[in-house]
Structure 1
Amino acid sequence: MLNKLDTLESLVLGRRLGHSLDAPFYTSPEVFAADMEAIFYRHWIYVGVEPDVSEPGDVATVEIGKASILIVRDDDNEVRAFFNVCRHRGARLVDEEKTTVGNLVCRYHSWTYGLDGHLVHAPHMGSDFDPSCKGLKPVNLRSLEGLLFVCLADNPPEDFDQLAARMAPYIAPHNVRGTKIAYQSDLIEMGNWKLTLENNRECYHCEANHPELTVPLFAYGFGFSPEEMDPIDLENAQRYDALRATSHDEWEKMGLPSREIEELDTRVSGFRTERLPLDGDGESHTMDTRAACSVPLGRFSTAKLGGLSFWTQPNSWHHFLGDHIVTFSVLPLDEGRTLVRTKWLVNEDAVEGVDYEIDRLIEVWTATNAQDAALVEMCQQGALSPAYEPGPYSPNTEMLVEKFIRWYVARMTDYITK
């Protein structure tokens, strides 16, 4: 609860640069409600991939706060989004996370909707009833080369198309639309959604907490302090910098855009991308750094293409490799619980047990997600303590956390001042 001295406006406008947020941002139900209104009901939210609805009639449901959303592939193979609410008396149409239908039928009174959202059958409504104005309410949807984003607002941020134009050349070679979901994990972290994002936006904690992830992934890719390193770490960091430069040159000669684009706090639809080299044999996010799937993505002839990292504000990060893709969406449940949904995608022609093994495919990120969940819970417990006060971010390793918080504060400032 907010105390008598705190208001949302005073908290937002009083945020200290370079420091974590005041405790109510992580613990207050009132701030959480404002987060949903200002952030998750107004911005482009990553919800899944086109392979979630791979065939006409496929339906996937996604919960964003109080809103339940249907993602549907219609008979013309177009992906659409609607609110999961019957236009008769408001019953929820689909309860399952995924299903396949011919039409969308409300089991309450049998109102029936086509896959394009139009009402096609409403029994016993009389001759004066006009079904044309009672179709399902649409939700704004964009597919970024197969990554699905929705916006619940009537007037969504207009800059998403600019983001898409810049990111499409990076993502397209991995051919998301030509993949299938090999595995999905839903993990509830016992912490505020902003702590989940803060934890993701830095690798300051990686060496001490992620022994699996730091086998293929260089922690140096997200900042370091050379003056504080011992000779071995400094040598590894310098090796990484050299590998990064030569790898970018090689990948771009292959037609793979690779260099950093960083706009996390400079636009409403903030994002960041860069293709990063991997350690060891450098093929994939696995414990031996070799490909987890023997069938490459897209038209790749090799899996040794580094890992393309793509982040979006406020709720996603993704890793595109030569042999598979890992996508993450963050969906707040309440002020102290957050759903982290992870999907592992492989070439649609790959066969489980022949071309890939699930355990090996998911090993690194399953371990990393569990470790991150423990860290987020630890921070949530600290934020609940009367001793908590905002602490300083490292300027060398937590600069991307600061950019996330600046983006968040700017969006909240817009919310309270307009």
Structure 2
Amino acid sequence: MDLGDISALLRARPPGHSLPQGLYTGAAAFEFDLAAIFGNSWLLAGFEAEIKKPGDYLSVMVGRWPVIILHGRDGELRAFHNSCRHRGSILCKPGEGHVTRLVCPYHSWTYGLDGRLLAASRMPEDFQKNEHGLKPVHLERIAGAIFICIAGTPPDIFVMRRDLTPLLAPHDLQHAKLAYQSTLVENANWKLVMENGRECYHCASGHPELSASFPINASAYFDFEDDTAARYEARMADLGIPIGPAGEDWWQAMRFPLNDGTVAMSTSGQFSVNKLMCDLGGGDTGSLRWAIEPNNFCHSTSEYTFAFTAIPVSPTETHVVSKWLVHEDAVEGVDYDLDTLTHLWTQTNLQDKEFAENNQLGVNSPGYTPGPYSPAAESLTLRFVDWYCAKAATYLKQLAA
């Protein structure tokens, strides 16, 4: 399959429908997605709460591409390709940690926290260390969240910074800590994982824990048939909490009310953390859903922020990385029980894993053809797929120019 085949598949998709089979199953389509989508988008890489001190680092994968984010001695955060300038070994395996400097595990080339090459033994006298620093990756910080972009010229992020900052501000992410992180292997294409995560058509029967607090019957983008939205908007206005909506074609954010009788997005519908991130209104403030294409959604509530990120690994394998952030002063075993905190989204993830894997098995069938989305129940899934097709088409045009 060449780029002409990719273009033909994109053109073959009926409007309002899912994608042709080859875009969910093909090795060439997977390589295309890495270059066209993940290589040209702003990606949520983590949170400032994960690398608070100089020397802290966060090592992440963007598909097959390793990236390292460092907290410098000057307080700045910088991102680099996690590839030694000698023979390419990664400097730090995926995860987080603390270093005074980066030492390549292969031949001990040594880098400062600002990416400069400090030492490279047994090189010739005319070797120029200043020409062999780590290659930078674009990084932006927005209200405690860290975004990276691999592209040489990244998309404009001004509107997101302007409009997402006030929505996230009440959740005080700069004073959060990572309470827990999990990685779930899903045997499904990353787009199927994200399509599932962009709709709640399946929630009534598929997510009993989530359905206790999440308004699963709202249509489109949290449209309510009664006066629920108006009452919620008035209450948030009284508290001085913005609700949105805000966004562009590649991101969106909106605060919404939880079900009547619940105050928290938890299995019980009640708070699972005593030390709240936002205590306005006694913490009864619903949830801020913020989602970034291609591979992320988050829920920021009064007690925690939950972040879901889908990392493509192969045409039919995706790693779902989930993070729970709570107030930095909240003490595990005192202010929260970890199993209680994580139960709702862990169960939801496991249920979604089965849905996505079943979806992949069916898409593999010779009987599969693209099916129509429900405008009321799958509007955000349609939005995601439309964005994907437009982004892919733009990339193809740029290659052809």
Alpha-carbon displacement from aligned partner over 1:40-77 (angstroms, at most 9, x marks no partner)? 01111112111221221111211112310001111122
Question: Which residue is 2:262 aligned to?
Answer: 282
Question: Which residue is 1:174 aligned to?
Answer: 171
- Tell me which amino acid in the other structure corresponds to 1:192: N
TM-score for both structures, normalised by structure 1 = 0.91
Matched, 1:251 2:249: no
Question: Is the Cα–Cα contact under 8 Å of residues 239 and 281 in structure 2 kept in the other structure?
Answer: no
Q: Alignment partner for residue 248 of structure 2, among 263, 281, 288?
A: 263
Question: Which residue is 1:394 aligned to?
Answer: 374
Deviation at 1:286?
A: 1.1
Q: Alignment partner for residue 306 of structure 1, among 273, 283, 286?
A: 286
Q: Alignment partner for residue 16 of structure 2, among 4, 15, 18?
A: 18
Structure 2: gaps spanning 5 or more residues: none
Question: Which residue is 1:115 aligned to?
Answer: 113
- Tell me which amino acid in the other structure corresponds to 1:44: W
Once residues 379 and 248 of structure 2 are traced to their aligned partners in structure 1, the CA distance between those partners, rounded to angstroms, is 13
Question: Which residue is 1:64 aligned to?
Answer: 62
SS at match of 1:41: helix
Q: Alignment partner for residue 388 of structure 2, among 405, 408, 411?
A: 408
Q: Alignment partner for residue 310 of structure 2, among 330, 333, 336?
A: 330
Alpha-carbon displacement from aligned partner over 1:58-102 (angstroms, at most 9, x marks no partner)? 112111123100011111222111111111221211125122111
Question: Is the Cα–Cα contact under 8 Å of residues 283 and 321 in structure 1 kept in the other structure?
Answer: no
What are the equivalent positions in structure 2 for 1:16-415 lying under 5 Å apart? 16-158=14-156, 160-223=157-220, 238=225, 241-264=226-249, 270-298=250-278, 300=280, 302-415=282-395
Structure 1: gaps spanning 5 or more residues: 227-236, 265-269
Deviation at 1:17?
A: 0.4
Deviation at 1:124?
A: 2.4
TM-score for both structures, normalised by structure 2 = 0.95
Once residues 144 and 333 of structure 2 are traced to their aligned partners in structure 1, the CA distance between those partners, rounded to angstroms, is 26
Question: Is the Cα–Cα contact under 8 Å of residues 199 and 378 in structure 2 kept in the other structure?
Answer: yes
Alpha-carbon displacement from aligned partner over 1:246-271 (angstroms, at most 9, x marks no partner)? 1112112322111323533xxxxx11
Once residues 69 and 259 of structure 1 are traced to their aligned partners in structure 2, the CA distance between those partners, rounded to angstroms, is 32
SS at match of 1:72: strand
Identity of paired residues, percent? 38
Moved more, 301-310 or 316-325: 301-310
SS at match of 1:220: coil
Question: Is the Cα–Cα contact under 8 Å of residues 280 and 288 in structure 1 kept in the other structure?
Answer: no
Question: Is the Cα–Cα contact under 8 Å of residues 55 and 73 in structure 2 kept in the other structure?
Answer: yes
Question: Is the Cα–Cα contact under 8 Å of residues 49 and 176 in structure 2 kept in the other structure?
Answer: yes
Deviation at 1:298?
A: 4.8
Alpha-carbon displacement from aligned partner over 1:3-42 (angstroms, at most 9, x marks no partner)? x9x8111111222101111111111111111011100011
CA-based RMSD of the aligned residues comes to 1.9
Once residues 268 and 107 of structure 2 are traced to their aligned partners in structure 1, the CA distance between those partners, rounded to angstroms, is 56
Deviation at 1:117?
A: 0.6
- Tell me which amino acid in the other structure corresponds to 1:250: R
SS at match of 2:40: coil
- Tell me which amino acid in the other structure corresponds to 1:258: I
Once residues 92 and 247 of structure 2 are traced to their aligned partners in structure 1, the CA distance between those partners, rounded to angstroms, is 39
Alpha-carbon displacement from aligned partner over 1:372-404 (angstroms, at most 9, x marks no partner)? 110000110011000101111112111221111
- Tell me which amino acid in the other structure corresponds to 1:358: L
